[in-house]
């Protein structure tokens, strides 16, 4: 080291191991994904179907127990084209991530969209899930590789969730 070298900083890495618990409701959701099903829960008060289910309806503050299987098709509520990779993600940018409302569900969740030029993705478009081969399934939403275009007319997004807004 040269005489005039000053140590300005050092890296002190931190490594911790954690055991993680999904919780009862997420476990239900993930187990159903292992069966190729997408399952949500309905709130007994507002009747809204949560996908993924959370065990409770934060809107009404009650437990949600009724299991509801939803379709693998849905509508794009909003989206963006990512030019920055997700840390630890599998997909190379640019890729489309979108908030999708599955048919039968009453709110959206985020997933990927592919199989269509990025500049043709639009709010209101209809999509369907493309699953990985069955032998590759895990208890994970990544069993669905992405959502691809469904040959149906676009839905009116303002119409879609109006029954709950401002209720």
Binding site for another protein (CB under 8 A): 8-9, 12, 14, 16-24, 26-27, 29-30, 43, 46, 48-50, 52, 54-61, 63, 77-84, 86-89, 94, 97-99, 106-107, 109-112, 118, 123, 139-141, 158, 161, 164-167
Closest CA to 126 of 77, 70, 68: 77
Minimum distance, C-beta of residue 139 to another protein, in the bound complex (Å): 7
* Closer residue to another protein in complex, CB, 57/128: 57
d(CA 76, CA 161) in angstroms, rounded, equals: 12
Minimum distance, C-beta of residue 43 to another protein, in the bound complex (Å): 7
Minimum distance, C-beta of residue 86 to another protein, in the bound complex (Å): 6
Q: Provide the token pair at 84.
A: 């920055």
d(CA 162, CA 50) in angstroms, rounded, equals: 16
Pseudo-torsion of CA 32, 36, 37, 38, nearest 10°?
Answer: 90
């Amino acid at each position: 080291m040269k005489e005039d070298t000053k140590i300005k900083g050092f890296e002190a890495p931190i490594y911790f191991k954690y055991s993680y618990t999904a919780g009862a409701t997420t476990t239900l959701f993930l187990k159903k994904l292992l069966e190729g099903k997408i399952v949500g829960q309905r709130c007994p008060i507002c009747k809204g179907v949560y996908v993924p289910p959370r065990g409770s309806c934060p809107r009404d503050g009650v437990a949600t127990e009724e299991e509801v299987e939803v379709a693998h098709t849905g509508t794009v509520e909003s989206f963006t084209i990512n030019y920055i990779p997700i840390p630890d993600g599998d997909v190379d940018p640019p890729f489309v991530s979108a908030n999708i409302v599955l048919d039968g569900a009453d709110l959206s969740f985020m997933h990927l969209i592919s199989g269509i030029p990025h500049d043709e993705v639009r709010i209101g478009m209809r999509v369907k899930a493309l699953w990985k081969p069955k032998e590759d399934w895990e208890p994970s939403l990544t069993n669905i590789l992405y959502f691809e275009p469904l040959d149906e007319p676009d839905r009116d997004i303002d119409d879609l969730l109006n029954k709950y807004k401002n209720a």
